[in-house]
Amino acid sequence: MKNIVNIIVLQIMFSLLLFGVDIKLIDPKEAIRMIGNKKVIFISGDSAKEYTKQHILNSIEMYAYDLHYLDTECRPLSTCPNKAQDYIKNKGITDDQLIIAYDNLHGYNALGVYSFFISLGHLNINVLNGGISTIKALDPNQKVFDKLRKEQMEIDKELLIVTEAKDTEKVLRLKDDLASLQATINILRPKLLIQGIK
């Protein structure tokens, strides 16, 4: 099934190229400054399951496969413009917004979203160059978060050892350290540019 989706997305991409439509890429450093801007909407082309795992803060999910094959009457959905426009409106997307399509993988799903909007005449769209991992790498809060999580795992390991050794004083100290660390992580988590299961 995944191979079929990849082939279809590649066909769409080549079709766009053949028709002379350049795929507009946006640099992650530029895109990161647009997160939270009401005139910009980030759209994940990945499945709901992948979106739940990780997505850009305040983005929405529009699974590329669903855009092209979910509706049995309109395959792809863009062949029924009224139905497609209703779908877009229900997602909260307005005509004046810049759309930045992205995915967690190799760009296939982002290109599926891109081709969907291009086929409907929405030309104010870009694909995030490098995908979600590029935003994650640029987020300074992510670096601090990852360091704190690593520290948390080390304390967890040490806590197991001192618990087995029945060193109650050290157990209490480590539990306090862990609680303090968790409080800091909880404060930082909603500020991360990449949200999802951590």
pLDDT tens sequence across 96-152: 999 999 999 778 899 999 999 998 989 999 999 999 999 999 999 999 999 999 999
Class of domain 2-137: alpha beta
Q: pTM of the entire structure? A: 0.82
Domain boundaries, the chain: 2-137, 139-196
Tokens representing 134?
């590029």
Tokens representing 148?
């704190």
Taking the C-alpha atoms of residue 46 and residue 128, their distance in angstroms, rounded to an integer, is 13
Q: DSSP 3-state assignment of 41? A: strand
The region of weakest confidence among 26-30, 42-46, 64-68, 192-196 is 64-68
Q: Among 181, 196, 103, which residue's Cα sits nearest to residue 145?
A: 181
Residue the block writes with tokens 């979203």: 113
Query: What is the model's pLDDT at position 4?
Result: 57
Tokens representing 159?
């806590």
Helix (H) or strand (E) holding 181, with range, is helix 168-188
Contacts of 147 (CB under 8 A, 6+ apart): none
In the predicted model, what is the mean pLDDT of residues 69-88? 85
The region of weakest confidence among 4-8, 40-44, 76-80, 81-85 is 4-8
Contact 61, 110 (CB under 8 A): no
Tokens representing 36?
């939270």
